[in-house]
Structure 1
């Protein structure tokens, strides 16, 4: 901190006084000069402290959001969705723990000391929260993030050890300054009472233990994913046989619901985060986190008076209480999730034998050490041919990995012993609760207490073949299975309230698939010499563009059509992306998205305002001919080779070709009565065609839902099944309504393609 006198003031006072010897005077002048410089350089430090507080607040908010997400989704093992181990979170953490990293600034005040220790408690809490997120990474991400975490924690531990040695970690808010004079050699030092050192040492040990747990868990995750993946593939084959995807017309809502349930069970019980949260290492990290939180609470209790007295004297000044309070709140909130994960093992059937097997000293499951064993047995590629070096390296590798395997087993056994604490506690609580229920039933049967008859739970379908277990004896408890199924039912009920009402009204305007029947005429030659694949969305957008350009139609009717098509295109896009994702089709789909953005937002078609067209007489014939001629002109100025076009050129060429084909087909079909055709009749006809095309495309929704249930990436499996269940809830009524329509006699792999539908209606009996 700075001095109360400037250098010039002290110089004047010392020169005017004869009570100081020359050497002492020079020494004090150097001291004041140094103090002046330190005061100047320390001015930005409070703002750096606010930067630390903001970073801590970001970590706090991320942990709180994960906590809220777990409570909302009733996943009390609290999966990591927002606060995960990655480059961004590590950067935030590095800023949040700057105080224990700072070895150049003293911490003379009680609040300074408490904040320094509180930062280490905050780091313990964040590490415990981050542990399940390791399961969401692939091998490369896992290795990179673990190495980054190791570097960060080791750096933190080394810096704290330096602070302990140099006396920065202490407990005296009023240090005693002493000056000794020996033969004109002047020394000065601060003297502290070192009662905070044991707390700092404890936090260092806790950080190292948590780091070891993270490393051991990372090694386990690699093999546990492999085990779960093999069991998932077996369940996937069973589910496919049950569904019989070869007959899409039989995929009603009830069968789809059962299919989604099968994958929901597999995704829930086989979630890597769920398996990690139920492991002994996660339980141990929760206990360690709780212990560090208790220490932080005690530190807060003994520091409250110092907070009131503003006892902070470091260069961070008034920002110290802000950091301290922010990180203390973060510790309290962040401890909830790791503490709840301590009891995640109770998601499985727990018995005395299970507890004994869980903590048996010599029982360490194979998957804990399989990766290390594979490395130990694998051969190392040598860059030289010296047999002596090869023998030395091979023996060294075997010795090191043998030690690592033994160390891994020791850590696992220790974690199992630590995890026994919350498990036994919770088992005792559940035992007391069950005893209370038994007493209530007994007294109720005796007539002493009137109690309601417990509700009978309906028998659920046997999902045992879809339950993915890491160990044979890890059988999920009945309440766990019920909770998993209830979460799916809640999601479907919630999605049912979000059904596309405008789209369903539009679908009622057609009874069959006449929109596809009358879409393209084979007598109309294409404008483009190069063939391109057809997609569902492009003709829908072309027909909608013609409909909204008719000036005599009321605006509310036009807006209703736009809303309906907009809702429908969301599902059409899902169908195209899921079932028709070839390179050429993707390019056409992108062109359709660009065109729809222009039509929906700006009411333009290829740069032309659809309401401000050239024809003087706005009849149905004029409208169709204008679009036909404009499309022909646009195509003539564009390059014909689709492969050489950029996105904008593809959009123009393909959109113009589609518009030309559709308008020419309509003109030919009404060639005898086109002059008498009113705009209202044309709008109704266009709406019916749009409805029929949407209906034909959305018959593929059951296939899309079935496909979304499965994904090859184990890290994305839960999100994929979630999307499938949500889509099922949204489209239940649509699927039911389309069940009554007679489908064309196409092969199951032909339904996703509009050109197959058009070919069938042109020639139903080839």
Structure 2
């Protein structure tokens, strides 16, 4: 009966191994990502603390919480210790992710992790008392791991208490430096080119984003350094235990003294191997952090001063000073509870200081190892320069601007090391160079072909005529992307145009829409424009994937051969199709008032096409001219180019706006997007700088404001 009831435990052992493998994979992905982006403090992107990861970790910790299963084999006992070491490793790797959470998520996740860790520690203690963990060498190591887990949990809780205050300090410093940057930019407005000005602006915000990144701040504090050191020690202890037991004391597998002797049977081997790999793989990032973090800040006497700054205990002090309401209305009861609260928080403040000082002392261990290597490295570099007669001057054309004033640090008495500043600056240059390789050549060719020095961007004004009101009883609102798509759909089906010209235009429009959508997303944030942008994204996807404008085919073969149509017929076809959709919508609403912000996407696309097609027909019919294929294609291409040019003059402002991200958790990604955008559009900005009109920047973001400006004499 016992064998029957324990038979599923093999599958449970495999389940534990799978859960452990998932955690290992997430940690390995973070490790590879850190190497890829050359951030050797390894920010957490995949293995972060949340409900899903806590659930998977709980499954992986099945062995330490198993109170009843007899596990007297060497592999069994090693498996229990391996799980405890694996838990230490995971807790150290989870620590940077705490900084990326808001306060509510931080409280919920820390509470859940605390319950799990305390459960593991208590159950391990029970197993020691009941001799499930054997009272020998294994018991001593298990006690060491329990102490490590408890200390790591204390470090995580202490860090979580500090995070909100750290973010507030960084936010205040960020706002102050941002004002300084804006003043400097205004003073240099006409002194340097737009590209140079943007590069300077982006670099300043890049320094702020990198040094003020919550995970960077978390990793560079002494608590994180201490957790990394504990993780490395737990790995070394585990490897030593495994080596001693298996090479010296573990007997060959026999019936009298089996290596594993538990209900998990052979699955124990899979668990031990998997979690042993996890201990080693998960310790790589903490090992790098132990030594990399030392290079972040300049080594000085402050490393030997164990002063606890106010921000470490600020949150606890705020709780101590705040008044809370109690259910009791009796004055004496309220006073008693208030005094009890103050005593508890007074103890917590003192304990927090002890934890910080302890972690600072533990953090000195890598310094003892690093200092000789740093000294030898500097000596080697000096000898190398003397022998090779190399110059230390930088070959780059970068300005010698002092970027240290844009560094965000929580502690005022610390400085970022010059080597770290150089690495951060070079990382931005590398990102720009990488983005430059992704220049859109088809778009540049279109702009060069249709935009000349004397170009007045008349296409922005002539593509639409306000005298052609659509059947919709709402005010018409133009966007940048929608008329480009409508004009393109007409242009690509014009017969007797070389396929190479059509393909080139189509590719150019596809590349241009990437930027027009970006400008709209950044600068046109009113709901009516958001609705139009969503409609254009859906419409262009249908054009690219299905070669259709709504229900109208864009296959060129449908307009050639026996179905041949003149350009005028094609334009009328689009106008009639659009009018049909609009009339059907009017009938469905039955005269009800429809707000422009709530128009269906299909109706938005039809409304644009109706006005544009009617405008083109009127332009030719009013002059009593026949529509020639080549002339119409060139005219439409010119309109498209003019609209794209007018829109892309907003790229510098869109780049600047992406640098101004108020949410600290999103700032690094937003500035990285700005850097990438600058790299991709450098040539475009240089070409279009002379086409920037004398308009207010806020008005330049809207095509209708451009039309008003161009219509003025």
TM-score (ref. length: structure 2): 0.93
What is the distance in 1 between the residues matched to 2:33 and 2:440?
26
Structure 2 CA distance for partners of 1:352 and 1:525, relative to 1, 3 Å: closer
Aligned counterpart in structure 1 of residue 507 of structure 2, from 551, 555, 563? 563
Of residues 669, 673, 678 in structure 2, which corresponds to 1:723? 673
Aligned partners of 2:281 and 2:272: how far apart in 1?
A: 14
Match of 1:607 among 532, 537, 551: 551
Counterpart-to-counterpart distance in 1, 2:594 and 2:192: 40
Residue 456 (structure 1) aligned with residue 398 (structure 2): no
Q: Does 1:334 align with 2:274?
A: no
Is the Cα–Cα contact under 8 Å of residues 67 and 126 in structure 2 kept in the other structure?
A: yes
Report how far residue 296 of structure 1 moved.
1.1
Query: Which of 317, 320, 332 is the equivalent residue of 1:373?
Result: 317
Give deviations 1:187-208, integer Å, cap 9, x for gaps. Answer: xxxxxx5331111111111100
Q: Show the counterpart of 2:409.
A: 469
Tell me how far apart the structure 2 counterparts of residues 457 and 281 of structure 1 sit (CA, whole Å): 36
The CA deviation at 1:133 is: 1.1
* The one of 677, 683, 690 aligned to 2:640: 690
Aligned match for 2:427, one of 487, 504, 523: 487
Within the alignment, does 1:233 sit opposite 2:175 as a pair? Answer: yes
The Cα offsets for residues 325-344 of structure 1, whole Å up to 9 and x where unpaired, read as: 11111111211211222234
- In the alignment, is residue 594 of structure 1 matched against residue 534 of structure 2? no
Match of residue 566 from structure 2: 619
| Equivalent residue, structure 1, for 2:631 | 681
| Deviation, structure 1 residue 691 | 1.2
- Change in Cα spacing, 1:436 to 1:606, as seen in structure 2 (3 Å) is closer
Pair 1:537 & 2:481 matched: yes
Corresponding residue for 2:161?
Answer: 219
2:136 is the alignment partner of 1:199: no
Q: How does 1:340-419 map to 2 (within 5 A)?
A: 340-357=288-305, 360=306, 363-419=307-363
Aligned partners of 1:597, 1:199: CA distance in 2, in Å?
Answer: 60
Instruction: Work out whether residues 635 and 652 of structure 1, in 8 Å CA contact, stay in contact via their aligned partners in 2.
Output: no
Q: CA deviation at 1:406?
A: 0.7
Which residue of the other structure, out of 194, 203, 211, is the alignment partner of 1:252?
194
- Compare 240-249 and 195-204 and name the one that shifted more: 240-249
Give the drift of 1:453.
2.7
The alignment status of 1:289 with 2:231, answered yes or no, reads yes
Q: In the alignment, is residue 658 of structure 1 matched against residue 605 of structure 2?
A: no
1:593 shift after superposition: 1.6
Go from structure 1 to structure 2 and tell me whether the alpha carbon gap of 1:524 and 1:423 turns closer, same or farther (over 3 Å shift).
Answer: same
Provide the aligned length of Structure 1 versus Structure 2. Answer: 693
Q: Deviation per CA, 1:239-270, whole angstroms, max 9, x where unpaired?
A: 12223399799861111000000001111111
Structure 2 CA distance for partners of 1:356 and 1:267, relative to 1, 3 Å: same
Q: Alpha-carbon deviation of 1:483?
A: 0.5
Deviation at 1:613, TM superposition (A): 6.6
Which ranges of structure 2 fall in alignment gaps of 5 or more residues?
Answer: none
Matched residues in 2 for 1:642 and 1:262: separation?
A: 50
Report the more deviating stretch, 426-435 or 223-232: 426-435
In 1, Cα distance between the equivalents of 2:449 and 2:185? 31
Distance 1:680 1:112 in 2: 81
CA distance in structure 1 between the aligned counterparts of 2:216 and 2:611, rounded to whole angstroms: 54
> C-alpha displacement at 1:78, in angstroms?
1.4
Q: Aligned residue for 2:468?
A: 524
Distance across 1 between alignment mates of 2:645 and 2:171: 37
Question: Structure 2 CA distance, aligned partners of 1:669 and 1:313?
Answer: 90
After TM superposition, give the deviation of residue 430 of structure 1 in Å: 1.1
Map of 1:319 onto structure 2: 267
Q: Which has the larger radius of gyration?
A: 1
Instruction: Go from structure 1 to structure 2 and tell me whether the alpha carbon gap of 1:383 and 1:716 turns closer, same or farther (over 3 Å shift).
Output: same
**Separation in 2, partners of 1:213, 1:233:** 30
SS state of the match for residue 533, structure 1? coil
Q: In the alignment, is residue 56 of structure 1 matched against residue 4 of structure 2?
A: no
| Stretch moving more, 120-129 or 455-464 | 455-464
Measured at CA, do residues 607 and 440 of structure 1 come closer, stay the same or move farther in structure 2, by a change above 3 Å? closer
Aligned residues of 2:161 and 2:315 also touching (Cα < 8 A): yes
Q: Does the alignment pair 1:71 with 2:21? A: no
Tell me the residue number matched to 1:185: none
Question: Contact 2:474–2:596 (CA<8 Å) still a contact in 1?
Answer: no
Residues 440/523 of structure 1: CA separation in 2 closer, same or farther (3 Å cut): closer
The Cα of 1:101 is off from its aligned counterpart by 1.7
The DSSP-based 3-state class of the residue aligned with 2:697 is coil
> Which residue number in structure 2 is paired with residue 132 of structure 1?
96
- Maintained 8 Å contact 2:298/2:416: no
CA RMSD of aligned residues (A): 2.4
Aligned to 1:153: 117
Conserved in 1, the CA contact under 8 Å of 2:528 and 2:596?
Answer: no
Instruction: Say yes or no: does 1:277 pair with 2:277.
Output: no
Normalised to the residue count of structure 1, the TM-score between the two structures is: 0.86
Q: Secondary structure at the residue paired with 2:63?
A: helix
Q: CA 1:202–1:598 in structure 2 vs 1: closer, same or farther (change >3 Å)? A: same
Matched, 1:748 2:697: yes
Matched, 1:300 2:264: no
For structure 1, the residue ranges without an aligned partner over 5 or more in a row are 1-36, 171-192, 445-449
Could you tell me how far 1:148 is from its partner in structure 2? 0.8
- How far apart are the structure 1 equivalents of 2:46 and 2:593? 42
Distance (Å, rounded) in 1 between the aligned partners of 2:234 and 2:351: 24
Alpha-carbon distance in structure 1 between the residues aligned to 2:94 and 2:528: 42
Whole-angstrom CA distance in 1 between matches of 2:381 and 2:606? 73
The Cα of 1:216 is off from its aligned counterpart by 0.5
Following superposition, the deviation at residue 617 of structure 1 comes to 4.5
Select the residue among 38, 51, 60 that pairs with 1:87.
51
Query: Residues 95 and 523 from structure 1, CA distance in 2 versus in 1: closer, same or farther, beyond 3 angstroms?
Result: same
Deviates more, 1:666-675 or 1:473-482: 666-675
CA distances 1:126-150 after superposition (whole Å, capped 9, x unpaired)? 1011111111111111111110110
